[in-house]
Amino acid sequence: MGFKQLAFVAATLLLHGAQAGGVTSYGDDFGFIGYSIRIYQPECAWACLFCITAPLNCTTGDMAGAVPEKRDVADEPPALPSGDGWEVTLEATPQCQQDSDFFLQTVAYCIKSRCADVPLRTLDNFWDKNVPFLYDGDKKDQPVSRQGYTGVLGAIKDAPSRPVNSTVLLNYTAAVPDEVYQPEYDAIHNYAASEVTHERYGLVIFLSGVVMPIAFSLLRFLPWPASWVARFNAYLVNPPAVGSQHSTPVWGLGIMPTRGQALFIAYFWLINIFLSALGYEILPGLFYDSQSYEVQTYLANRFGVLSFAHLPLVFLYAGRNNILLWLTNWSHSTFLLMHRWAAFLCMLHAVLHSLVYLNMAVAHIGGLDHAVESVQPYWYWGIIATLSMSIMVVASIQPVRQKMYELFLASHIALAVMAIVGCYYHITPKYDFDYGYQTWLYISIALWVFDRAARLFRSLRGGVKRAFLTPIDDDYYRLDIPGATASGHIYLHFPTVSLWRIWENHPFSVAGVARCSSHMPSPVHAPVEGNSDPEAEKTVQVGDNRGSRSSTGSDGAPQPYSSSDIGVVLFIRKHDGITSLLSKRGIGPKGIPVLVEGSYAPGVTFLQDGHVSPTHNFPHLICIAGGVGITGILPSLDSFTAVARPIGRKKLYWGVRTMPLVHSVERMLGYDGKDALERRWGDVDVTLSVGERFDLRSLLEADLCSRPGGTTVVVCGPPGMADDVRCIVSGLSRHNGANGPVLVKLIVESFSW
């Protein structure tokens, strides 16, 4: 369902002119109101059908049929006669209307005189589908027309002259005077127009949420002077909106957006406030017996549609396989932040929508009665959807995500399903498919299915691999997955680690594609690796693994290993979950089955920013890594390596707690720096800081302000470190250094979302 309909939506939006399309009835097409769906068309015919409220003489049999919802009659109803087997009533059933030639003729004549410019085919079609009309009832009970429009018209002998009178029995063919027709027409017209406005505003939110990130990303391709860009980023994009924390949650509760992110969030709030408040045309009409009823209905419906319009954005922003990630240079963490804000606004609209209708039901406005409505499916499914959304928002606060990530994730998915199902059953009983509100849900579901399917495809594509673990010290280990190839980051699934963790998967950065340390039982290694003593494994490692990088092969002579020895190398820091379970369980000589989902590398399309590479404006590179964050840095170092003489300087500052991690990484890279704090990896100056913190401010000041030429700064490390670098670099590039403006491009690789 999803894809075909998504394609259809796209086509509809492109054509735009679908307005002129053939749907001229109550609407039962797919799409959005005002685009492929038009409601209450032709409005003149609907007004004729609805404005005739005179009492009819109905038989008991007629009245036994489906009862229409009570319509509000402002005045005290007149005393109406009744007799044996018949009654004159204001609440005629469609069946009774069907049997009354006077009623049918009055409607037909009204249509003929009011809809002069509507094609006959359209009117015939309208008649067959809707006359007589079961107001607000179940579509199944809609009576089938007894006679066609032209047939009924033909039976009228003389043009009616006596006006219809809402207190007088309609036992004649009546004329419909303007004062009866016009208010009804206005009300219908206004209602239909308001629905179009709701949908249009919803589309503005949805489409701008998709288009704006792309448009803003494209701006960077314009030939701005590099110094402007650096200043712009330093003032308006990179620093935290308030304070000095971005990666570190503020008071442990939530993420402070960067200024760039804050601008986009502010845009969202503003457009939501404006689009909730504007575009109402309040005309008293027969639909509404009071102004407050009308205002509240329009307001609540607007909130409802805007809530739906956020749903596709919420799903789009959340995805790993998010089309916007490929078309923009925005990071996954930015989209996840936007996911939270879009979700919050979605929830807020849903809550406001519910509150207004609750208020109306409790106050008996507009014929709503809480006791009656609250047992209707549409009502309680609405409550389920609103509650699911609210619980999701509350349960997603930082401390919960941080402390119970897996529990959070599982409940998040379950509640998301509840919310979507709730939304579906909220609108379907009430509107069937006439209003096309389901389209918002279909788009959301399609986006979700796309992401999930792509994940499944990406993790199964490589087949089941085996992972081998080499302990480094108490905190870290190295994980090798021979036969896999990837770049950027990957998600690992360990299907056999624990039954309860089958669905778990975790992101890790690919430190390199290299010769793997432990591999399939080869006669030489098997006996030693069979030994589970970590010390023994370590010795094997040192002796065995000269770790040549697959690309450069730094130790010269090619070694005789098969291609299956080459694989992905990861360095992993133990946390409390699966990362520590893996090392506690011990993996054994045969390795452990693993599914590698990836690669999620930057630069899938040219619109995305690939790994940084030197440019003539930005020849220098400074990398700052904290602990295992080195894995996020290595690709940048790699892409700065050139065959030609390097044009800029490359530096790496790496803060680690202990040396074993350094040795292990160097072994993979093919270097050996012994225990010195200063070392060189190719043309990269590496400075270590073991067990203590760098004075980042003075280091960066010295490096950035002294040299001519721009510098790319890449940081990957603990949140505090990332924040320090973010603030220091932004601060420095707001001012001039010794050589004019300080040109910096800041890239923060994040290990937490």
Ligand X SMILES: *[C@@H]1O[C@H](CO)[C@@H](O)[C@H](O)[C@H]1NC(C)=O
* Nearest in space to 690 (alpha carbons), one of 722, 653, 720, 718: 653
Q: Is 575 in the site for ligand FAD (CB under 6 A)?
A: yes
Q: Tell me whether residue 576 or residue 678 sits nearer to ligand FAD (CB atom).
A: 576
Residue 631 partner contact from ligand FAD, ligand X, none using kind-dependent CB cut-offs of 5 to 8 Å: ligand FAD
Strands 86-89 and 82-83: antiparallel
Residue 67 partner contact from ligand FAD, ligand X, none using kind-dependent CB cut-offs of 5 to 8 Å: none
Q: Which helix (H) or strand (E) holds 360?
A: helix 332-362
Is 680:711 a contact under the CB 8 Å cutoff?
no
Cβ-based neighbour number of residue 443 at 10 Å: 23
Buried b (16+ CB within 10 A) or exposed e, 228-264: ebbbebbeebbbbeeebbbbbbeeeeebbbbbbbbeb
CA atoms within 13 A on the CB side of 731: 13
3-class secondary structure, 284: coil
Q: Is 399 in the site for ligand FAD (CB under 6 A)?
A: no
Binding segment (CB under 6 A) for ligand FAD, from list 46-54, 335-343, 348-356, 398-406: 398-406
Residue 658 partner contact from ligand FAD, ligand X, none using kind-dependent CB cut-offs of 5 to 8 Å: none
Which residues, 6+ apart, have CB-to-CB distance to 96 below 8 Å? 56, 58, 59, 62, 63, 65, 89
Residue 578 partner contact from ligand FAD, ligand X, none using kind-dependent CB cut-offs of 5 to 8 Å: ligand FAD
Smallest separation (angstroms) from ligand FAD to the CB of 529: 23
Residue 737 partner contact from ligand X, ligand FAD, none using kind-dependent CB cut-offs of 5 to 8 Å: none
Kindly write down the DSSP assignment for every residue of 5-31, as one continuous string.
HHHHHHHHHHH-GGGGSS--SS---SS
Q: Tell me whether residue 13 or residue 604 sits nearer to ligand FAD (CB atom).
A: 604
What residue ranges bind ligand X (CB under 6 A)? 57, 59, 81, 83, 86, 88, 163, 165, 167-169, 171-172
Residue 628 partner contact from ligand FAD, ligand X, none using kind-dependent CB cut-offs of 5 to 8 Å: ligand FAD
Which 8-state DSSP code applies to residue 475?
A: S
Residue 81 partner contact from ligand FAD, ligand X, none using kind-dependent CB cut-offs of 5 to 8 Å: ligand X
**Exposed/middle/buried for residue 436 (C-beta within 10 Å: 0-12, 13-18, 19+):** buried
Is 739:704 a contact under the CB 8 Å cutoff?
no
Q: Is 503 in the site for ligand FAD (CB under 6 A)?
A: no
Cβ-based neighbour number of residue 212 at 10 Å: 16
Q: Is 577 in the site for ligand FAD (CB under 6 A)?
A: yes
Pick from 224, 269, 561, 753 the residue near ligand FAD by CB under 6 A.
753
In whole angstroms, what is the distance from residue 127 CA to residue 49 CA? 10
Phi and psi dihedrals of 465, rounded to 5? -110, 175
Q: Tell me whether residue 104 or residue 582 sits nearer to ligand X (CB atom).
A: 104
In whole angstroms, what is the distance from residue 55 CA to residue 472 CA? 89
Provide the strand spans (E) within 180-293: none
Q: Is 585 in the site for ligand FAD (CB under 6 A)?
A: no
Site mask for ligand FAD (CB under 6 A), range 507-546, x = bound? xxx-------------------------------------
Binding segment (CB under 6 A) for ligand FAD, from list 342-350, 387-395, 515-523, 576-584: 576-584
Residue 489 partner contact from ligand X, ligand FAD, none using kind-dependent CB cut-offs of 5 to 8 Å: ligand FAD
Binding segment (CB under 6 A) for ligand FAD, from list 231-239, 550-558, 574-582, 699-707: 574-582
CA atoms within 13 A on the CB side of 726: 28
Pick from 271, 447, 513, 572 the residue near ligand FAD by CB under 6 A.
572
In whole angstroms, what is the distance from residue 685 CA to residue 649 CA? 8
Q: Tell me whether residue 171 or residue 689 sits nearer to ligand X (CB atom).
A: 171
Pick from 576, 691, 692, 740 the residue near ligand FAD by CB under 6 A.
576
Interface with ligand FAD: number of residues (CB under 6 A): 23
Smallest separation (angstroms) from ligand FAD to the CB of 332: 7
Pick from 628, 713, 715, 746 the residue near ligand FAD by CB under 6 A.
628
Smallest separation (angstroms) from ligand FAD to the CB of 271: 30
Smallest separation (angstroms) from ligand FAD to the CB of 482: 18
3-class secondary structure, 261: helix
Cα separation values, 616 from 299, 612, 613, 620, 648, Å: 55, 13, 10, 9, 9
The contact set with ligand FAD (CB under 6 A) reads 401-402, 405, 489, 506-509, 570-573, 575-580, 628, 631, 751-753
